[in-house]
Amino acid sequence: AAPSGPPVYVDLAYLPGSWSARTLDEEFFRRVRSLCYVVSGDDHLKEGVLRPLLDALLSGKHQWGVDIQVTVTPGGVSLVMHEWYQETHERQQELGITVLGSNSTVAMQDETFP
């Protein structure tokens, strides 16, 4: 169990894919509060861990008790991500979570990329 303490606030948190995503649970999202979570790229190995990770995000964000808008940026499109989005869309709105589409672009200085 992680030691208790105040939450950590960050602007951006990169969530790993594949099997390392299993280490991210509700407690992680309760304690690491980010304005933007980037979910690792399209990887067939992460399909089994993606749904629990996204559900943990919802559960953890629910415990924040403050109204902070959060953006989730998926690194790829998958059936699991699509189903989660559709099934939890109302809850996402209640919690102030926006999921960006797969055709989003990132702009940094004078450069943009998908």
pTM above 0.95, yes or no: no
Give per-residue pLDDT as tens, 86-100: 999 999 999 999 998
- In this structure, the number of other CB atoms found within 10 A of the CB of residue 96 comes to 14
- Three-point CA angle 39, 27, 6, nearest 5°: 110
pLDDT number for residue 96 = 96
Q: Are 69 and 96 in contact (CB under 8 A)?
A: yes
pLDDT number for residue 87 = 96
Return the SS3 of 112. strand
Beta partners for 111? 108
Q: Residue ranges of the chain with pLDDT lower than 70?
A: 1-3, 17-19, 41-47, 102-106, 113-114
As a whole number of angstroms, the distance between CA 92 and CA 24 comes to: 19
Task: Name the DSSP letter for residue 6.
Answer: -
Tell me the domain boundaries of the chain: 8-99
